[in-house]
A and B are shown apart, each in its own frame.
Chain A
């Protein structure tokens, strides 16, 4: 189950040494969560920022963002849109910048618990919806290369058990991205987390 309140942070220092030159990249994240409204309804504000020291045109000195991040069949975390490099609504790695700031406001609605859905060998346990809005600024403060992209979307996860003991999660997601106040594109995600 998800955490319902708290503070989560991370610091990341990375160095790429390419052709003798060292390019440091610094990144951090700070998330706040608290329960809101009915039981098991939580709101999280997830923030990330980073900066690299290097030529803006050097790909090794850039961060890239985009996509939900889930595969159609997957084995990793279900809510991958929470990761710093995810940005649902645009293609994977479609947005890059030598520095960035990103915030996502996420509302995890109370789960719907199923008591009689399926058979003893194959049954639904719960469904949990989540909604989010986000903003990503790439190269903030730069005169010409600044990009600010917003997104809005949601994800619905169905937890079910197959063959009495194999837990799986079927997820559906959708998001739309906007830039300069205009609709840019959208993304749909279907993913089955196995084992």
Chain B
């Protein structure tokens, strides 16, 4: 779970990539390793986050938000290298 307001990141001081986002966010996530038998891996990740008053898109630092309120759900599955 996470709750942030104008979330900041120390390494943004050394730009150009910015992790910080002006605005508010509230959300949570669920991560599970479906397969963990190296080198075979399969992970499942699920995130649901509600944003308000953002200046830029959550994943794209140079793209301004035209409105200002977003709910954002994300699912992802990864299988790492198999030899």
Contact = CB atoms under 8 A, between A and B. Distances in A.
Interface of A: 3-19, 31, 33, 59-60, 62, 64, 67, 69-76, 80, 85, 91-94, 96
A3 B11 contact: no
A11 B15 CA distance: 29
A11 B81 contact: no
Contacts of A71: 11-12, 14-17
A80 B11 CA distance: 15
Interface string B50-65: 0000000101111111
Given A14-B73, A73-B14, A9 B60 contact: no
Contact of A92 (B12, B17, B81): B17
B66 to A, nearest CB: 6
Interface in B7-62: 11-17, 39, 57, 59-62
Contacts of B67: 18-19
Tier of interface size on chain B:
20 to 34
A69 B60 CA distance: 11
Secondary structure class of chain B's binding surface, majority of residues: strand
A96 B72 CA distance: 19
A80 B61 CA distance: 16
Highest count of chain B CB atoms <10 Å: which of A19, A31, A71, A80: A71
**Across chains A and B, which 10 residue pairs bring their CB atoms closest together, nearest first?**
A6-B81, A93-B62, A73-B14, A72-B14, A17-B71, A3-B81, A10-B78, A71-B14, A64-B60, A12-B76
Nearest to A66: B62
A93 B14 CA distance: 18
A12 B74 contact: yes
Contacts of A96: 63
24 contacts: A5-B83, A6-B81, A7-B79, A7-B81, A7-B82, A8-B78, A12-B76, A14-B73, A15-B72, A15-B73, A17-B71, A19-B67, A19-B69, A31-B81, A67-B17, A71-B12, A71-B15, A72-B15, A73-B14, A74-B14, A75-B11, A92-B61, A93-B61, A94-B62
